[in-house]
């Protein structure tokens, strides 16, 4: 009985999550007439699919071309996530294994300090970041946005990874050091291979947050470096038809879906059974 | 290649973790650290390995200051009481890991690792990961990893602690043979079990509250514990220590049971003492001059013996009886105390006379 209930819930939840996506997906292949017909989902049966919406956003019809924006978003998200996961991971390892601090303030306060940066609404940071990048001549550049996004993504990575490293028995580091590794080699040879699930989770979060950033992209980049969310929003403000908007929505989440599929297999490999009994 | 500790100590705030440890460990010998939990055995090993900083004293290896070397340059191997291995590597991968940085070619390292895996009896499990092995097998992997490097110092921190009885017996037997392969290393083995100390050790160091309170050949320490504390630590089950008195040519225990002064106690001045008896030397039944009636507190069967914990008017007494016997709490039993087997301690706990063999 409970099994039936479980499956029923899973099916319901899957439909609940997938319904809006599938609606956007089928809409992106519809003609104006098909859109106005109401809720239809099955191509070739309920409506005749067309690629017009996709041609509009891929620069084929001459209406808009989101491909350069996609490339900008990829560059920015890739480097911002890479730097966040690398530096954040090392910081988290340090905070998990060594004691830092002054008087009553210790590691937990440092971790709180990291995550507290996320408490600030981005809008508070907009003017400081704008002025900072202006003085550094980094406005409307890839590097500028990468640095700003990294500062926001790193706290999330540190926060996630400290907890993860805390679960890996300290004796594994000690053992690697006893076997001739200095602390950095112990991290690289013994701890890092065990950290794949933690790295995968952090990377997924960093990539999703980085990819979906709209606010800083709108404030700190203009014409040279326009990211995909900013470009999609710009389309939204014009007389762009629904089917084209639907295509742009699907287009902008495709890379994320691909990334999660690739990284997901590392998630399943958690657990340290056999490390310490 | 000796390891020399001079007045080594660790203080953490007001807590004394190790105090005044002075000892020289020679290569090719197995030193057994014995003491109760929290006596400082693990702390001493971790200090030697460089995993714990000491606050007082000096440590030298081969005459050179050892403290300046970080852990990874000390050529030290350690086996923990929890079976610690790299969970993501196979048995072969685990045993190869310490060799990675030794400069051996891949083929040589692999051959050496396989030989060691064979020695610890795991050759058919070389491709398995530690999570797929039993506890005893996991500990063998850890032991193989520790032995393969031929480190200058080999530390074993209660390696058999978490294993079942049978496996413990078997590995204990293997140890002597495995250790002989490391003739150039100082081997230090921590345990709480007297049987293990007697079987494995060339030297026994008894630790209590962060200090070494007696050292020597295991059998010697076992026969002549210098204090009540050592006697309690090196005897399992612990010795029963009862009040005793010598006066006017009689020896009495608990001021109640009296006998003639046994031969080994003749000539001692009159006065109050403490008398210690090994559980195996007390017997159930009321015979001879010194007999006592007690009430069973707990009785447990250990292998082919029965351990009986009794409340007697003289004090808490532990008797080890051959064979399996059923007693329940509250049973009244007579016990016989052999005065000729008494370890006599003064009132501050120092050994006065041991009964000898």
pLDDT > 90? residue B203: yes
Contacts of A31 (CB under 8 A, 6+ apart): A47, A48, A50, A52, A243
| Cβ pair A177:B130 closer than 8 A | no
Query: Which range is least confidently modeled, A4-8, A103-107, A137-141?
Result: A103-107
Section A83-104 average pLDDT = 91
Chain A nearest-CA distance from B83, in A, is 5
| Cβ pair B138:A277 closer than 8 A | yes
- Strand B305-312 with B271-277, pairing: unpaired
Q: Are B49 and B79 in contact (CB under 8 A)?
A: no
Chain B nearest-CA distance from A174, in A, is 7
Q: Are B303 and B311 in contact (CB under 8 A)?
A: no
Whether ipTM > 0.90 holds is: no
* pLDDT of amino acid A268: 61
For chain A, domains (ranges, CATH) are 70-220 (1.10.3720.10)
pLDDT in tens, B150-163: 888 999 999 888 77
Cα separation of A140 and A88, whole Å?
25
Which residue reads 């958690």 in tokens?
A270
For chain B, domains (ranges, CATH) are 3-225 (3.40.50.300), 240-353 (2.40.50.140)
A15 inside 8 A of chain B by CB = no
Helix axes A228-236, A196-212, angle to 10 degrees: 30
pLDDT > 60? residue A45: yes
Closest A-chain CA to B147:
A179
> Band of the pLDDT at B319, cuts 50, 70, 90?
very high
Q: Are B194 and B235 in contact (CB under 8 A)?
A: yes
In B84-101, which positions are buried (b, 16+ CB within 10 angstroms) versus exposed (e)? bbbbbbbbbbbbbbbbbe
Task: Give pTM, 2 decimals.
Answer: 0.81
**pLDDT, chain A, mean:** 89
| Cβ pair A275:B130 closer than 8 A | yes
Report percent pLDDT > 90 for chain B: 51
A275 inside 8 A of chain B by CB = yes
* pLDDT of amino acid A92: 95
Report CA-CA distances (Å) from A42 to A16, A83, B31. 18, 43, 79
Cα separation of B8 and B22, whole Å?
6
Q: Are B2 and B152 in contact (CB under 8 A)?
A: no
DSSP B285-338: S--SS-EEEEEEEEEEEETTEEEEEEEETTEEEEEEEES-----TT-EEEEE--
pLDDT > 80? residue B179: no
Q: How many residues does chain A have?
A: 277
Section B60-69 average pLDDT = 91
């Amino acid at each position: 009985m409970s099994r039936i209930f479980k499956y029923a819930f899973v099916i319901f939840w899957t439909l609940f999550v997938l319904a809006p996506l599938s609606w956007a997906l089928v809409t992106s292949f519809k003609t104006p007439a098909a859109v106005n017909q109401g809720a239809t989902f099955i191509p070739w049966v309920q409506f005749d699919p067309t690629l017009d919406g996709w041609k509009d956003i891929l620069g084929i019809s001459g209406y808009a071309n989101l491909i350069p924006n996609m490339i900008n978003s990829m560059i920015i998200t890739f480097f911002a996530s890479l730097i966040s996961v690398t530096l954040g991971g090392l910081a988290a390892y340090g905070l998990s294994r060594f004691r830092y601090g002054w008087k009553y303030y210790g590691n937990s306060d440092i971790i709180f300090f990291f995550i507290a940066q996320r408490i600030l609404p981005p809008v508070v940071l907009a003017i400081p970041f704008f002025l900072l990048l202006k003085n550094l001549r980094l406005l409307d550049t890839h590097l500028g946005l990468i640095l700003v996004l990294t500062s926001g993504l790193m706290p999330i990575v540190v926060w996630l990874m400290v907890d993860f490293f805390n679960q890996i028995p300290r004796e594994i580091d000690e053992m690697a050091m006893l076997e001739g590794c200095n602390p950095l080699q112990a991290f690289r040879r013994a701890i890092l291979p065990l950290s794949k699930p933690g790295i995968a989770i952090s990377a997924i979060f960093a990539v999703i947050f980085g990819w979906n950033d709209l606010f800083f992209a709108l404030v700190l980049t203009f014409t040279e470096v326009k990211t995909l969310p900013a470009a999609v929003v710009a389309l939204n403000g014009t007389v762009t038809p629904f089917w084209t908007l639907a295509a742009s929505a699907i287009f902008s989440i495709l890379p994320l879906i691909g990334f999660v599929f690739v990284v997901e297999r590392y998630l399943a490999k958690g657990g340290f059974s056999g490390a310490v009994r | 290649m000796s390891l020399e500790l001079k007045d080594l100590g660790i203080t953490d705030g007001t807590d004394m973790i190790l105090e005044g440890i002075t000892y020289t460990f020679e290569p090719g010998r197995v030193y057994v650290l014995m003491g109760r939990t929290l006596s400082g055995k693990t702390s001493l090993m971790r200090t030697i390995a460089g995993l714990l900083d000491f606050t007082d004293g000096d440590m030298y290896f081969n005459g050179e200051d050892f403290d300046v070397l970080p852990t990874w340059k000390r050529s030290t191997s350690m086996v923990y009481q929890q079976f610690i291995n790299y969970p993501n590597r196979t048995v072969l991968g685990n045993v190869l890991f310490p060799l990675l940085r030794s400069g051996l070619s891949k083929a040589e390292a692999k051959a050496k690792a396989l030989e060691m895996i064979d020695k610890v009896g795991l050759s058919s499990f070389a491709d398995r990961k530690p999570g797929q092995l039993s506890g005893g097998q996991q500990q063998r992997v850890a032991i193989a990893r520790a032995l393969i490097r031929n480190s200058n110092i080999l530390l074993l921190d209660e390696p058999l602690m978490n294993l079942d009885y049978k496996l413990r017996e078997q590995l204990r037997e293997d140890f002597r043979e495995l250790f002989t392969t490391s003739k150039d290393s100082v081997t230090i083995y921590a345990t709480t079990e007297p049987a293990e100390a007697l079987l494995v050790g060339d030297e026994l160091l008894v630790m209590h509250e962060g200090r070494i309170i007696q050292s020597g050949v295991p059998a010697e320490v076992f026969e002549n514990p210098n204090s009540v504390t050592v006697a309690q630590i090196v005897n399992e089950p612990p010795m029963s220590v009862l009040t005793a008195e010598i006066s006017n040519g009689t020896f009495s225990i608990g001021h109640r049971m009296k006998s003639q002064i046994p031969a080994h106690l003749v000539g001692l001045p009159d006065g109050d003492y403490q008398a210690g008896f090994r559980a195996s030397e007390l017997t159930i039944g009321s015979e001879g001059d010194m007999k006592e009636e007690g009430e069973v507190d707990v009785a447990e069967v250990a292998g082919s013996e029965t351990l009986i914990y009794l409340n007697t008017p003289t004090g808490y007494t532990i008797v080890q009886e051959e064979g399996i016997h059923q007693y329940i709490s509250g049973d009244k039993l007579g016990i016989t105390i052999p005065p000729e087997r008494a370890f006599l301690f003064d009132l501050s706990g120092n050994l006065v006379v041991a009964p000898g063999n």
